[in-house]
Structure formats: structure tokens, C-alpha cells
Structure 1
Amino acid sequence: MAPKKVSGVPLTAGEEPLTAVILADSFTQRFRPMSLEKPKVVLPLVGVPMISYTLEWLASNKMSKVYVFCCAHAEQVKQHLQDAEWTKEGASMDVQVIVSTACKTAGEALREIDIKDIIKSDFVLVSGDVVSNMDLGAALEAHKARRDRDKNALMTMVMKAGMTASQRRRRGDNALTVAVDPHTRRLLRLEEVEPGKPMPKQAVIDAHFWGETDQVEIRSDLAHTHIYICAPEVLMLFSDNFDYQNVHRDFVLGVLSEEELGQQIHIHELYREYAACVQTLRAFDAVSRDILQRWTFPFVPDTNLLPLSGTQGVSSYKMSMSRLEVTYKEDNVQLGRTAVIGHDTAIGDGTVIGDDAQVEASVVGRNCRIGRGAHITGCYLLDNVSVGDQAQVSHSLLCDGVSVGAHAMIFPGSVLSFKVRIGERQEVERNTSISMCQQLQQSASMSDDDLEYAADPAASPPEESEPSTANGAASTQEEIPIADGQGFSEELVGPMGQGYRWQAHGADMDALRYSIAPPAPHGPMLGDEFSDEESQAATNDEAPDVALLDPDAAFRREVSETFLRCVDMGYDQDLAVIELNGLKIAEARDFADNASYIMTTILSLCLPPAPRVREEYRALFPDTSPDSKTAASKLELKKRLEGQLSKWASLLQKFLRSTDDQVNMLLTLEEFCGEEGIFEGMGEHGHLFEPMFGQLLEVLYDKDVVEEDAFLQWAQEKEHGDEEDRVFLNKAQQFIEWLQAAEEESDDEEAEDSD
């Protein structure tokens, strides 16, 4: 079946044909050991091969011709494109495949394209693992206008704006410091902050730039998308400079360092549109969740636009939504009567899930089998995966044909490559990779990026090695031996299991940083915990906010910033729910955590801004603060709270999914009003709500945020505590007694009715 086209229509008269080059290899080893057997761009994102997202996006932008440059596993890529009818004659977008197995870097690939002399005009250069819904029109128009004025305007880099430290952690991206001319959007300087190092507090700008502009804009919220609009001279520069191996690390920095030649690079910023590159397993997880949460529309599961692998045609997903539980199911899915399917989950055609099994925040491929009582959380199961009864799999990736025995446990960060088998009751430790390909001895000093030229883990750098395939493909089976059924470690895979341990390159910190498992809030894997304003707020100019070293405090800050951004930008509630829910998933938190910190932020909005509130959000807060001691002041504060909850009560209700969630929120409110725990020393004036705590609870009751049963359960838990633990219960005693009386009266009326 031919892929459906969003807007890939023939060009009208007078339009200039558009050409794109897709690099189908990432030229790194980040997806080993999976990429030993299958090209990365054909691995599925929510059931669809990565390269299909890239091609369909180009088709939607009326691209006329696309060259797909393949190195490793070229035949598999060509076969996929043929089966999906991308290379079919007469299609609206002409897709041609270029194969060169000798290229080991992006620079070598672009030099090969230059030699072939097939690019005659401006073109779009993109990686084959990019997912985007951006309209290229504005960026292309700006690029062409600059080219008309100055032929030295060589490249326009598309960059995603508004990236926070949390979003970078979620994707495993490095932080960037970017200097641009605010008038022309010319890139003046770009620095990538290495992992483990703090963001610089200053940027060095060459003096000669001040002769061309009177302003320089320094940005730390931009991220690479790996989408470039290039003049044909870009290819010539790669041919002239053999040390250019990488586009943004070598070419871009090289052009910026040779300003005397007059060559220029500009940037185009994306705000509401989506663009991301799946460079690592961490990005694989983040982009998959973005697709499930519909940030990539129209390239979402239930539009069924994109061709699948082989000759399977397109998908047949249907979306269902209940409160926050968005799920997608294809045809012929069989669910046990007591199976539970949680939020942000997609289940492929022909999959069978047994009774009492639980699947949440996961993508399950086609023709999978999940046994009775099994628990699958935050996982990616490709096709034909089998998970036994009572097995538990958490935040892991299981490739085609993997089998997990009954009662086995797969811990977060694990990658089980094709046809690996885990025995019954076996435990696979965190961040373990297992493959049917046996790994040779490796150098501990090498990293996956260092090995982007290598054919196997023991290979030499390019100048010392023979030509070999890239992206993790082995040139011969002798270099990466395929399992012969001998030598499996029972300690690793259990009795009757099969597979070899595959050791990641580089330091343990890198393994954590690129793991398929979600990052810990402000954990050690990135070097920019204190890089943004949100995480660099400090009590003095030198020290970072020590409170943010607490994961709870860090997550609370992220929720507060996200909610304030939703308020500031006027998001409707559905969009705010998606963004806040995405943060919850990314940080592996509970709904009650979100609700509690949204509520404390709402309370903060009734008072003047705390010292650590970002400048752009300060206008959301009132200028004056009632002292809450007088009746008039308490009434004013109560009115402010009622006004806020009139807008946001329904949002809170979507996160307060049970009585226990509501009780947990009440406990957090105690800490906020008492300025204890993570609220201590934050200057948020929570103590002003303490004298009127009973009225605060009354407002929550009146606005249907907290139900009667939750208040009574909270009071029951508190009344057996010591005096210190009963402080807030005593302040709310009148309200609680009123609720108890109302409940008794209701019980009496029900008894009379039954008589």
C-alpha cells in the first residue's frame, strides 16, 4: 500500500524544485548492539520506522527530489524504501538512494555527494532520524532572500527555541550557548557545553562583530534539530576541508572561526512547531512520548499516515481518551477481561494481553504476547515479543523476537536486542544490554562518539584502519561473532536463556545519560543542572540553589515553571494538561505530585512573587500582600484564591485521581503553609495562609477540588499524632466538625429513607 501524503503535491508553474538530502546513518555507535543487525533509521518509533517520519515530513513540504544516502545496512534501507513505495516511479516526490559503504562520517558522505555533482541549487540537509512537523516555507524564504542579497549566506540552521534544562535532560542533549545578531539572525558564536561542566557565565564575542552590529543576543535555550538549509557551496567546503567530519561540530564551528572569509551561517528558530533528532536511546524515549502525546501532529499514531516496515502498508491505530489516559490500539488486539491499559500507551495489531496484566506509558508492537499478571511500565516492545506470566519489565527496550520468562524482572535502562531470551525468574540488572552478537575486547578509554568511524569496538581510528561500514555494522561476522548457542552466561540470562552481555563504551555517567530509562531530576548525567535561570537562581552570585539538589525540590520547581508558562502563554486546559503530564512521565512521578505542586503554585499566585520567580512571570503575581491577620485581609486572600481556582480547579481535578491523591495534596499544603521541607527558605510567603488554613480548605471543598472523604481521612490520620502534628488540624477544626456533622446528618437521612 502506498503511503498517504499530507501535502506532497506537484509544484505549480514558476515554483523552484526543492531538493533534500537525507543521511540515513548517524555515524555513531549509540544504538549498538541493535544497529549491528538492523539500520537505526528503520527501527520503529511508535510502530513506524524513523525514516518514514522524515520522508513524510519532506513530502508535506512539497519536496520534489530526495536523495537518501546509505552506508551501513544499505540493502535493508533500500528494501524498506521499496516496500513502502517511497521509490516507486511516478510518485509526487522522487526518492533516490545513494550507497557508499566506505563512508564513515557525515563529512565523507557529503564529499561523496559533491563528487557525484547531483546538487545544483539550495537544498535541505537532514538526518534520517528527524521527526518534525515544521513548515519549511518561512525558513526557505528567509534563506533565499539572504542568498539574493549575499552569496556568502551559506546555511540556515533550524534550531528549537525554549529548551529548558529539564527538556535537555529528557532528551540527553548538551546545553548550548548561542550568540546571534538579533537583526539579521546571523550566527556569531556557538559553544556546546560538555557533560559534567557548568554553563559559562559569559560569552566571548570577537571585537570585529561590533563593527557590524550594535547588539548581540546570547541564548541558552536553543537546541539542534539537525535540519539545515544549505547552499551548494556547502558541499564544496566539505570537499575542500577534509577535517570537516561532522556538520555542527566541524563545519559550523569551522565557518565561524574563519570570519575573514566572509561566509555566514544564520539560524531559524522554531517555537510552537516540533523538531527533534533521535540520536540516542534517551532521545528515542523522549521523542516516542512526544508522538504519543501528539506534539508531532499530524504525524501521530491515529492519523495512520506513515508506511510501516516491509509490506505491511500503514497502521490502523485508533485513539481513545479518558481523562488523562490517552491510548492507541490497532485492529485485532486481544485484552484480558481484567487487563489494565494505562495512559500514553500504543498497542499493535495482533497483540494478546492476559488477565491482570498492566501496561502503562509503553509502546507494544505487533503480534506480541504479554502473560497473565505481567507488568510493563515505560517500555518499548517491538514486534513478536513474548513476556511471561507475572514478569515485570520497566523502562526498557525489547527488540523483535525477544522472550522474557515467567516471573522474570527486567530493570530500567535495559536493552534486549533481537531474539534474546531471558529465563524464568531471572533478573536483568539496570542499564544492561544483551545481544545475540558477541562483543570483542574493547578499549575502556573509547566512547561511542570516538568510535563513529569504527567497524567494531576494537577497530582503530580512521587514519589507521581499513575502510569499513558505519553506524555499528560489522564488515564481517568474524569481527562481531553471531551467537552459536555456546557460552551463554546463566548468571546473565538464566537457565534456558540466550544472549551475550554488550558493554557500553565510555564512562558510567555517559551510560546513564543516554539510557532508555528516564533521567533522575537534576541527576548527575548532564552538566547543566545549574545552567538555566530556573536552576541557577542562588542566594548569592557564586553558589547554586542548594535546595535544588533535592529531587523533590527540583521536580517542584519544574512543575511550577511549567504551570506558570501555561498561565503566561494563555494555554487552554487541555494543552496545559498535556504539558504537565509529559513532565510527570519524563520524571517518573505520580499524579499527586503534579497536583500538589500545581496547587502550591496557585497559592503563590495569590501573593507577591518570591525572589526566585523568573522575570517574565512576575507580572502574573499581585504587587501587594494581605497580612492575613485581620478579617479584611483574610477575606482578600480568600477572594484571590477563589479567583485562581475558578480558572484552574478543573485542571487540578484531572490530576487528583483518588482520595489518597487528595490527602497527599493536603499534606503538601501543610508544608507550604508552614514553610517546611522543600518550601523552607524559599521566600514564597506561605505562612500568610497559615492563620486561615481552615478557610483555605473550605475553598478547596467549595470548588470541588478536594472531596469530603479526603478531608475526613486527612483529619483521622492527624488526630492521633502529637501536638506538633496537629497544628493545622486544630486550625481547620471548625471546618472538619462541620463536615462530620453534615456526614452524620446525611447518614441519618439515608437510614430514614431505607426505613
Structure 2
Amino acid sequence: MAPKKVSGAPLAAGEEPLTAVLLADSFTQRFRPMSLEKPKVLLPLVGVPMINYTLEWLASNKMVKVYVFCCAHAEQVKQHLESTGWTHDGASMDVQVIVSTACKTAGEALREVDIKDVIKSDFVLVSGDVVSNMDLGAALEAHKMRRDKNKNALMTMVMKAGITASQRRRRGDIGLTLAMDPKTRRLLRYEEVEPARAMPKQAVIDAHFWGEADEVEVRADLADTHIYICAPEVLMLFSDNFDYQNVQRDFVLGVLSEEELGQQIHIHELFREYATCVQSLRAYDAVSRDILQRWTFPFVPDTNLLPLSGSQGVSKYTMSLSQLELTYREDNIVLGRTAVVGHDTALGQGTVIGDGAQVEASVIGRDCHIGRGAHITGCHLLDNVRVGDQAQISHSLLCDNVHVGAEAMIFPGSVLSFRVRIGEGHQVERNTNISMCQQLQQSASLSDDELEYAREGATSPPSEAAAPGVSANGTSSGQMDAFSADGHGFDQQLVGPKGQGYRWHSHGADVDVMRFSIAPPPPLRPVAADDLSDEESQAATNDEAPDVQPMDPDAAFRREVSETFLRCVAMGYDQDLAVIELNGLKIAEARDFADNASYIVTTILSLCLPAAPRVREEYRKLFPATTPDSRTPAGRSELITRLKAQLRTWAPLLQKFLRSADDQVNMMLTIEEFCGEEGIFENTGEQGRLFEPVFAQLLAALYEQDVLEEDAVLQWAQEKEHADEEDKVFLRKAEEFIQWLQEAEEESDEDEDDE
């Protein structure tokens, strides 16, 4: 089946045909061990191979010819382009493949393109992991006008504007500080900042810039989209300068450092449209969520515009929006009667989800089977994945044909590559990579940002015939890793009983592993002054933003209260001793009694549900194993029964930290956030949203145990009456309980009057 195409209008008379060079190799190792077996550009992004987003976007911009440059796994890429119709006669673009498995960097690839002598005019340079919906028209026109006036205007870099430090961190991006001429948009300075941080208070600009421009604009809110409009001379410069290996760090900086040659680079800013590059697993997760939340329209699941792989044709997603929960589903989905599918989730064709299973904020591929009572949060499951009953998986990526045994737990940041098996009841630690390709030797000289290493067109993992110390393409182990897939000697401590797979170590430092992890970025604690370098200390003195962002103080205090309370429960502390422990936290952090009460009660609520992934191992026994389905009467009853049992024990403790009606109102506001999974309770895996349908019964239970007083509930309701409509969700849920309190108050007043 031929893929649908979002094609632009036909070329106008005299208009030059547009040409693009697409690099189908990342020239890094950030997607290992997955990219050992499948090229990064063919990994599915919300069910669609990554390269198809790039090709379809090029087609929508009236691109006439595209040269796809392949290095590693070239045969797989060629087969994909053939099977999806991109290289067929009559396609919307003329797609031609250039293969050179000897290229190890982007610079070498562009030199090879120059040798082929296929580029005769200006062209678009893009990598095969770019996702965009931008209209190239304005950028192309501006580039053409500059070229007509000045042939030294070699490149236009497309930059996304308005990017904050938190957005960079969400995608694992580097920070950029740029200087440019605000009138001509000529780039004057390009500096990468590690790690990403907020706009600096000071920037050093060379004095000679002022001789060329009346004004210099310094920006730190721009992100490189990896979309470049280039003159043919760009390829010539790569051929003339063999030390140019990277577009940004070599070519751009090289041109800027040789201003005496008159060559220029310009910036095109992108505002409302979407464009980004999937450079790491962190970016893979972030871009997937952007697609699910429709920032990339029309390239979203339910438009079904993008071809899949092989003979699969196009996707068949339909969108569902219920109570602000956005989900996408293909055909032949089988859901158990009590299965729960939460917000921002896509389910692929043929997927089966068992009774009591919960799936939220996840992309589930085709023909996956998720067992009864399993819990999957923030994950990416590719095709034909099997998850056993009661298994728990959080913020991880599982490739094709992975099997996870019953009651196993996969902790955040884990990557299970193709055909890996995890034994029943086994736990996979955070940020663990497991592959069927054995990493025999790790070279300390490499980093994950270095070359991916083409393997002579290999289309499968290296065979067991690889000699010790020699890789599948014959390179010695002193130059790169050696691999094996002999199927023997699996580490049972790593994969569990009857499991299969080998540990895969990343080359990067621990900070890079965390930065590029598939899991969301963790909150960062403030840096002690002793840990700062002289420059960082000086920056802090000058009120500049430090490189390390502080953790949200509320989130940090909430974590301390929660863990202290759980320790008191686990150790069987007398409540008076627990009060001393918790009060010590309040004093140390200069907090209010209400803060303690708020985070104690949310911990009590979490104790009514299975343990969240972040809960420490020694406290997991305190949590129940099953999750009530709060959409059903029986599930709601079970949830409230559990809550009442907890309150019978801990209500006296809560009462000691609630000194006034205002304290109780503040606690109710925190409970709202917990039940709505908002603020510091977002993406914690605690499933607070399950309490949303029983919010009124929750308040009634607190009222019955004298944790909440009538005046406090009515005060909360009165304050909520003045809120925006979207902030009245829980007020509406509690209407009957509030009405009952008001009627009871009126009857009490009447009785007092009669007396």
C-alpha cells in the first residue's frame, strides 16, 4: 500500500526545483544498544519510523529531489525506503540513496556527497531524526534574497525561538549563546553551553563586531533544529577542510573564526511552528509527548499520513478525548473489563491489555500483550512486547519481542533492547541497558557522542563467530567495542531466572547518562558553595544562573516528609516519636504545620495503592499489591475502605499538625493537586488520579475522623467559588457533601434558636 503524501503545490513557472540532503545516520552512539541492530532513523516514534516524519515534511515543502545518505545499516534503510514507496517511480519526491559504510562523521558524509557531484544549487541539509511542521517558504525566500546580493551568504540555520532552560533540560539539549546582527540576522558568535542554563547576565563580545554592525543582539533562547539551507559551496568547504567533522562545532565555528574570508551564516527564527531533532533518548521521550499532544500537527497519529514499515501501509489511529484525557487507538484493541488506559497514550493494532492493568502516558506498539494487574507509566513499548501479570514498568523503553515476566519491576531510565527477557519477579535497576549483543570490551577512549560506526551494511546483530577482541566488521577492539551474541552466560542477577540479555555500559559520564536518559529529568538539589568552581562562585555572587538548577523546594520537602513518615510506619514508631521526627523536619526547613500535614496525608493516600517506582525497597511492603478500579462501584468502595483503615491509625497524628481552619484548607488544596496529579505530584507514578472519582468520599472520611472540620470545608468551598471554571473540578465533585454539611449547619442553628 502506497503511503499518503502531504504534498505541496506544484512549482511555479521559473521556480527552481528544491533539493535536500538527508543524513540517515546520527554518527553518535546515544541510541546504543538498540542501534546495533536497527538504525536509529527506523526506530518508531509514536508507531512510525523516525525517518518518515522527515521525508513527509520535506514532501510537504515541495521538495523535488532528496538524497538519503546511509552509513550504518544501509541495507535496512534502503529496504525501508523501497517497501514504503519513497523510492518508487511516481512518488511525490525523487528519493535517491547514497551509501558509504566507511563514513564515520557528518563531515565525511558531506565530502562524499561533494565527490558524487549531485548538488548543483542551494539545498536543504537535514538529519533523518528531525520532526517538523514548519513551512520552509519564508526561510528559503530570505536565503535566496541574501544569496542574490552576496554569494558569501553560505548557510541559513533554522532556529526555534523562545526556548527556556527547562525546555532544554526536558529534551536533554545543550545550551546555546548566540550573537547576531539584529537587522541582517547574520550570525556573529556561536557558543555551546554545558549543561543548558538560563540566559547569562553577561556575555563577552569581541570588539571587532561593532565595526561591522551598529547593534549586536545576544540570545540564549534559541535551539538548533538541525535544519540548514545551504549553498553548494558548503560542500566544497567540507572537502577543503578535512578537520570539519561536525556541522555546528566545526563548520559553523570555522566560518565564524575566518571572518576575513567574508563568508557568512544567517539565522532564521521559528516561532509558532514546530521543529526539533531527536538527538537522545530524553529527546525521544519529549518529542513523542509533543506528538501525542498535537504540537506537530498535521503529523499526529490520527491523521494517519505517515507510512509505516514493510507492507504495513499507513497507521490506523483514531483519537479519543474524554475528560481531558487524550488517547489514540488503532484497530483490534482488546481491553480487559477493568483495564484502565490513562492520558497521553497510544495503543497499536492488535494490542491486548488484561483485567486490572493500567497504562498511562505511554506509547504501546502493535501486537503487544500486557498482563492482568500490570502497571505501565511513561513507557515506550515497541512491537510484540509481552508483559506478565502484575509487572510494573516505569519510564523505560522496551524494543521488539521483549518479554517481561510476571511481577517483575523495571525502574525508570531502563532500555531493554530487542528480544531481551526479564525473569518473573525480577527487578531491573534504574538506568540499566540490556541487550542480546554482548559488550565484550569497553574502550575508554570513546564517548557516546562519537561515531556510530558503520558495519559494512550489516542488517542484524553481529554473529557469534566474531573472534575475541575483534568486532563484526573486523575492527580491532582497541579502536571500538567488540560484540557477541552467543546466547550463553547470561547474568541471572541482571535479568532474573530464565532471563536473557547482557548489560550494556554507556561510555558517557554519569551526568550524561542522567541527562540523556529515557526517564524524565530528576529534580536537582542546590549546589553547595564549596562544590562550585571559582568561575561558578563568581557567577553566583553576580546573581547569574548557576549551571545546576535547584530542586523545587516544595518537592524536596515533600519527599523528606514522605520518607520520614514511611520510616516511622515501617519501624513501628509510637506516634509521639513520629511527631518529634516530623516536627524536626518542619523546624529545619522553616515550614508550617500545614506543610507537614499536607504531605503526610498525601503519603497516606499513596499507601492505599501499589508502591510508586520511586518508593525505596525497604518501604514497598507497606503498600498493597493490587490497584482498585475507581471507575467501578466495587473499586471505589475498596479504595475508600483502604483509606479509612489508614485514617483510623493515623488521624490523631494528622490532627497534631492541623492547628487552624486555614491549615485544613491548605491541606485540602494539596489533596486537590495530588488527585489531579498536578504540580509536584505530576509524573510521580503514585496514581493520585484514581482518587478523583471518590474525592467527596475522601473528604467525608477525613471529616468522620475529625481531621477536617465543617468550617474548614465550607471555607474551602467558598474560596473555590471565586476560582476559574477549570479550577472548580473538585468543588463540583464535592457538591453533595458540601450541601449535606450546609444543611447540617442550618439544622444545628435552628436547634440552638429553639433552645
User: TM-score scaled to structure 2, two decimals?
Assistant: 0.72
**Secondary structure of the corresponding residue to residue 707 of structure 1:** helix
Query: What is residue 542 of structure 2 aligned with on the other side?
Result: 541
Query: What is residue 506 of structure 1 aligned with on the other side?
Result: 508
The answer to whether the 8 A contact 1:663-1:711 is kept is no
Partner letter of residue 740 of structure 1?
L
Runs of 5+ consecutive residues of structure 1 not aligned to the other structure: 457-472, 531-535, 557-587, 590-650, 666-691, 714-735, 749-755
- Per-residue CA deviation, residues 698-723 of structure 1 (Å, 9 max, x unaligned), is 2413556252876999xxxxxxxxxx
CA distance in 2 between partners of 1:334 and 1:81 (Å):
32
- Residue 279 of structure 1 and its aligned partner are, at CA, apart by 0.8
Query: What is residue 496 of structure 1 aligned with on the other side?
Result: 498
Runs of 5+ consecutive residues of structure 2 not aligned to the other structure: 457-470, 558-612, 615-677, 683-687, 700-711, 750-755
Pair 1:707-2:722 in alignment: no
Sequence identity (%): 74
- Residue 202 of structure 1 and its aligned partner are, at CA, apart by 2.7
Query: What is residue 242 of structure 1 aligned with on the other side?
Result: 242
- Pick closer, same or farther for the CA change 1:297–1:743 going to 2, 3 Å: farther
CA distance in 2 between partners of 1:699 and 1:427 (Å):
46
The answer to whether the 8 A contact 1:483-1:499 is kept is no
- Residue 407 of structure 1 and its aligned partner are, at CA, apart by 0.3
- Residue 195 of structure 1 and its aligned partner are, at CA, apart by 2.9
The answer to whether the 8 A contact 1:317-1:330 is kept is yes
Query: What is residue 519 of structure 1 aligned with on the other side?
Result: 521
Partner letter of residue 486 of structure 1?
H
- Residue 8 of structure 1 and its aligned partner are, at CA, apart by 3.9
The answer to whether the 8 A contact 1:548-1:554 is kept is no
Pair 1:389-2:389 in alignment: yes
CA distance in 2 between partners of 1:96 and 1:428 (Å):
43
Pair 1:430-2:430 in alignment: yes
The answer to whether the 8 A contact 1:445-1:506 is kept is no
The answer to whether the 8 A contact 1:160-1:224 is kept is yes
- Pick closer, same or farther for the CA change 1:262–1:453 going to 2, 3 Å: farther
The answer to whether the 8 A contact 2:362-2:379 is kept is yes
**Secondary structure of the corresponding residue to residue 109 of structure 2:** helix
Equivalences for residues 480-629 of structure 1 within 5 A:
480-522=482-524, 541-542=542-543, 549-552=550-553
- Per-residue CA deviation, residues 541-577 of structure 1 (Å, 9 max, x unaligned), is 3376999723245899xxxxxxxxxxxxxxxxxxxxx
Query: What is residue 440 of structure 1 aligned with on the other side?
Result: 440
- Residue 743 of structure 1 and its aligned partner are, at CA, apart by 4.8
- Residue 406 of structure 1 and its aligned partner are, at CA, apart by 0.3
- Per-residue CA deviation, residues 11-38 of structure 1 (Å, 9 max, x unaligned), is 2322210000000001000000000000
- Pick closer, same or farther for the CA change 1:696–1:501 going to 2, 3 Å: closer
- Residue 240 of structure 1 and its aligned partner are, at CA, apart by 0.4
The answer to whether the 8 A contact 2:168-2:196 is kept is no
Equivalences for residues 79-158 of structure 1 within 5 A:
79-158=79-158
- Residue 252 of structure 1 and its aligned partner are, at CA, apart by 0.3
Query: What is residue 663 of structure 2 aligned with on the other side?
Result: none
The answer to whether the 8 A contact 1:8-1:92 is kept is no
CA distance in 2 between partners of 1:548 and 1:173 (Å):
15
- Residue 663 of structure 1 and its aligned partner are, at CA, apart by 12
- Per-residue CA deviation, residues 671-721 of structure 1 (Å, 9 max, x unaligned), is xxxxxxxxxxxxxxxxxxxxx9997852413556252876999xxxxxxxx
Query: What is residue 357 of structure 1 aligned with on the other side?
Result: 357
Query: What is residue 640 of structure 1 aligned with on the other side?
Result: none
The answer to whether the 8 A contact 1:659-1:707 is kept is no
The answer to whether the 8 A contact 1:660-1:710 is kept is no
- Per-residue CA deviation, residues 364-408 of structure 1 (Å, 9 max, x unaligned), is 000010000000100000000000000001000000000000000
- Pick closer, same or farther for the CA change 1:474–1:314 going to 2, 3 Å: farther
Query: What is residue 585 of structure 1 aligned with on the other side?
Result: none
Query: What is residue 473 of structure 2 aligned with on the other side?
Result: 475
The answer to whether the 8 A contact 1:36-1:474 is kept is no
CA distance in 1 between partners of 2:15 and 2:747 (Å):
74
Partner letter of residue 496 of structure 1?
K
- Residue 474 of structure 1 and its aligned partner are, at CA, apart by 5.1
**Secondary structure of the corresponding residue to residue 440 of structure 2:** coil
The answer to whether the 8 A contact 1:186-1:264 is kept is yes
CA distance in 2 between partners of 1:508 and 1:316 (Å):
40
Query: What is residue 274 of structure 1 aligned with on the other side?
Result: 274
Query: What is residue 63 of structure 2 aligned with on the other side?
Result: 63
The answer to whether the 8 A contact 2:72-2:455 is kept is no
- Per-residue CA deviation, residues 310-340 of structure 1 (Å, 9 max, x unaligned), is 1100000000001221000000011111000
The answer to whether the 8 A contact 2:164-2:198 is kept is no
User: TM-score scaled to structure 1, two decimals?
Assistant: 0.72
- Pick closer, same or farther for the CA change 1:241–1:702 going to 2, 3 Å: closer
The answer to whether the 8 A contact 2:165-2:196 is kept is no
Q: Which moved more, 1:211-220 or 1:425-434?
A: 211-220
- Residue 349 of structure 1 and its aligned partner are, at CA, apart by 0.3
Partner letter of residue 141 of structure 1?
E
CA distance in 2 between partners of 1:202 and 1:160 (Å):
22
Query: What is residue 741 of structure 2 aligned with on the other side?
Result: 740
The answer to whether the 8 A contact 2:526-2:548 is kept is no
Partner letter of residue 55 of structure 1?
L
CA distance in 2 between partners of 1:545 and 1:15 (Å):
50
**Secondary structure of the corresponding residue to residue 102 of structure 1:** coil
The answer to whether the 8 A contact 2:102-2:454 is kept is no
CA distance in 1 between partners of 2:253 and 2:540 (Å):
36
- Residue 414 of structure 1 and its aligned partner are, at CA, apart by 0.3
- Residue 482 of structure 1 and its aligned partner are, at CA, apart by 3.7
Partner letter of residue 357 of structure 2?
A
**Secondary structure of the corresponding residue to residue 134 of structure 1:** coil
Query: What is residue 165 of structure 1 aligned with on the other side?
Result: 165
